[in-house]
Amino acid sequence: MKALTPTINSGAERIQLQPAPGPLPDTGKLVRTVLHSLEDAKAEDIVSINLQGKTTIADIMFVATGRANVHVGAIADRVIKACKEAGYSAPRVEGLPQCDWVLVDAGDVIVHIFRPEVRQFYNLEKMWGGDRPAERGARMGDRFAG
């Protein structure tokens, strides 16, 4: 499995995802546990984003979609249960009562589970993608720093 970094097209076109450079961080069993639970719960459009070098809050972020509030809640419950069964401490969870957007923080792995229209609105793939304007500017500035 490779991490995916979004490539943004013009206008309101669909995001085309491409593998991120380099391997996924070595979070091993936790990543496999979370990914397997997302797949078991029939989460849709699962994307992994490599966060190493971007933030210290986690190594990997998964973004997934549930078809409706009930499906979003069921996916989150499955991820939480799988983490506990694998011997990890109970993840911190936000958004479970509404189930529009549920955040599951399992330490080195963060999982965002959205209803489709909420995911489209917040567009985390674009926010955390490697081609943000500030990062492009910093890289360009590095080239001219001498």
* Whether pLDDT at 142 is above 70: no
Q: What is the mean pLDDT of the chain?
A: 79
At residue 92, does pLDDT exceed 60? yes
Q: Against a cut of 0.85, is the pTM above it?
A: no
> Which pair of tokens denotes residue 106?
């399992």
pLDDT above 50 (res 11): no
The 3-state DSSP class for residue 97 equals coil
Instruction: Tell me what pLDDT residue 16 has.
Output: 47
More confident residue, 13 or 125: 125
**d(C-alpha 75, C-alpha 122), whole Å:** 19
**What domains lie within the chain, and their CATH numbers?**
4-143 (3.30.460.10)
Instruction: Locate 2 and state its tokens.
Output: 């490779």
Portion of the chain with pLDDT greater than 70, in percent: 69
SS3 22: coil
Give the separation between CA 4 and CA 16, rounded to whole angstroms.
Answer: 10
105: left (phi over 0), alpha (psi -120 to 50) or beta: beta
Confidence of residue 56 (pLDDT cuts 50, 70, 90): confident
